[in-house]
Amino acid sequence: MAKPLHLGFLYAPQSGHQTHDESFDPLNPIHLTSLARDLEGAGFAFLLVDDSVGHAAPARSEAFTTASFLATRTRHIGLIAAANTSYVEPYNVTRLAASLDHVTHGRAGWLVATGVADPAGANYGQAAFAPDLHYQRAEEILDIARRLWDSWEDDAFVRDKRSGVFVDGAKIHPIDYIGASFTVKGPLNVARPPQGQVIVAHRVVDRRSAEFAGRHADIAILGAATAGDIAALRANVIAAASGARREEQHVRLFAEIVPVIGPDHAAGAPGATSASFLSGTATKIVDEIEALTNAVTLDGLLVAPRVLRSGLDAFSRDVVPELVRRQRLLSANGSITLRERLNLSRPRNIFEHKAPQHASTAG
Amino acid sequence: MSKRELHFGLMFWAGGTHPSGWRYPSSHAGAAFDIEFLQRVTQLVEAAKFDFLFLGDRLASDPSLQTTNPSQMSRLEPFVSGASLAAATSHIGIVVTANPTYYDPYNLARMFASLDHLSQGRASWNLVTGADEIAAGNFSRQAHWDTERRYDWADEFVAVVRGLWDSDAITPLHHKGRYFEVAGPLNVKRPPQGHPVILHAGTSDRSRELGARDADVIFAGQATIESAKAYYADVKSRAGKYGRADSEIAILPGLTPVVAETTQQAVAIYDHLNSFIALEPDGDGGEASRYGSLGRMGKRRNLTAVSAAIGVDVSGQNRDAPVDPIVLAEANEDGRRLFADVTRLTRRDVKGPDRLTYRDLIIGHISTGAIVVGDAKEVADHIQHWFDERAADGFNIFPPYVPESVEAFTGLVVPELQRRGLYRTDYSGSTFRDHLGLAKPGPILSNATSL
Instruction: For residues B387 and B271, state if they share a domain.
Output: no
Boundary-marking domain end, from B366, B390, B423: B366
Instruction: For residues B158 and B73, state if they share a domain.
Output: yes
For residue B451, tell me if it sits in a domain: no
CA atoms within 13 A on the CB side of A320: 22
Boundary-marking domain end, from B346, B366, B386: B366
Q: Which residues contact B25 (CB under 8 A, 6 or more apart)?
A: A161
For residue B103, tell me if it sits in a domain: yes
- Model confidence band, residue B295 (pLDDT cutoffs 50, 70, 90): very low
Please state, in angstroms and rounded to a whole number, the distance separating the CA atoms of residues B262 and B426.
27
**DSSP states of B162-212:** HHHHH--SSS---EE-SS-EE----SSPPPTTSS-EEEEE--SHHHHHHHH
Instruction: For residues B382 and B325, state if they share a domain.
Output: no
Instruction: For residues B213 and B353, state if they share a domain.
Output: no
CATH number of the domain to which B220 belongs: 3.20.20.30
Boundary-marking domain end, from B337, B366, B395: B366
Instruction: For residues B251 and B319, state if they share a domain.
Output: no
Instruction: For residues B209 and B245, state if they share a domain.
Output: yes
Q: Is pLDDT larger for residue B433 or for residue A355?
A: B433
Instruction: For residues B155 and B72, state if they share a domain.
Output: yes
Instruction: For residues B344 and B407, state if they share a domain.
Output: no
- Model confidence band, residue B292 (pLDDT cutoffs 50, 70, 90): very low
For residue B116, tell me if it sits in a domain: yes
Average pLDDT, chain B: 93
pLDDT tens, A209-254? 999 999 999 999 999 999 999 999 999 999 999 999 998 889 999 9
Instruction: For residues B239 and B286, state if they share a domain.
Output: no
Whether residue A45 is predicted with pLDDT greater than 50 in this model: the reply is yes
Dihedral, CA of residue B229, residue B234, residue B237 and residue B241, to nearest 10: -160
pLDDT tens, A89-113? 999 999 999 999 999 999 999 999 9
Please state, in angstroms and rounded to a whole number, the distance separating the CA atoms of residues A62 and A88.
13
Please state, in angstroms and rounded to a whole number, the distance separating the CA atoms of residues A253 and B138.
34
- Model confidence band, residue A270 (pLDDT cutoffs 50, 70, 90): low
Whether residue B446 is predicted with pLDDT greater than 80 in this model: the reply is no
For residue B441, tell me if it sits in a domain: no
Whether residue B72 is predicted with pLDDT greater than 60 in this model: the reply is yes
Tally of structural domains, chain B: 2
Q: Scanning every residue of chain A, which has its alpha carbon at the shortest distance from the alpha carbon of B189?
A: A58
Query: Closest Cα to residue B205, out of B243, B165, B148, B244?
Result: B148
For residue B248, tell me if it sits in a domain: yes
CB of A167 less than 8 A from some CB of B: yes
Do B80 and B57 meet the contact criterion of CB atoms below 8 Å apart? no
- Structure confidence at residue B286 (pLDDT): 73
- Structure confidence at residue A58 (pLDDT): 82
For residue B448, tell me if it sits in a domain: no
Q: Which residues contact A38 (CB under 8 A, 6 or more apart)?
A: A309, A312, A313, A316
For residue B44, tell me if it sits in a domain: yes
Please state, in angstroms and rounded to a whole number, the distance separating the CA atoms of residues B351 and B359.
16
**Chain B residues in contact with A355 (beta carbon < 8 A):** none
**Chain B residues in contact with A56 (beta carbon < 8 A):** 169, 172, 185, 187
- Structure confidence at residue A1 (pLDDT): 56
| Strand pairing report for A165-167 and A157-160 | antiparallel
Query: Closest Cα to residue B258, out of B14, B442, B4, B17?
Result: B17
- Structure confidence at residue A56 (pLDDT): 82
CB contact under 8 A, A189 and B61: yes
State the nearest Cα–Cα gap between B21 and chain A, in angstroms. 10
Structural domains in chain A, CATH included, are 6-128+138-145+198-353 (3.20.20.30)
CB contact under 8 A, B134 and A185: yes
Query: Closest Cα to residue B47, out of B407, B433, B327?
Result: B407
Q: Scanning every residue of chain A, which has its alpha carbon at the shortest distance from the alpha carbon of B113?
A: A61
**Chain B residues in contact with A69 (beta carbon < 8 A):** 83-84, 86-87, 118
Whether residue B293 is predicted with pLDDT greater than 70 in this model: the reply is no
- Structure confidence at residue A52 (pLDDT): 93
Instruction: For residues B174 and B271, state if they share a domain.
Output: no
- Model confidence band, residue A265 (pLDDT cutoffs 50, 70, 90): low
Instruction: For residues B194 and B341, state if they share a domain.
Output: no
pLDDT tens, B390-429? 999 999 999 999 999 999 999 999 999 999 999 999 999 9
Instruction: For residues B354 and B235, state if they share a domain.
Output: no
For residue B443, tell me if it sits in a domain: no
Q: Which domain range does residue B294 map to?
A: 261-366
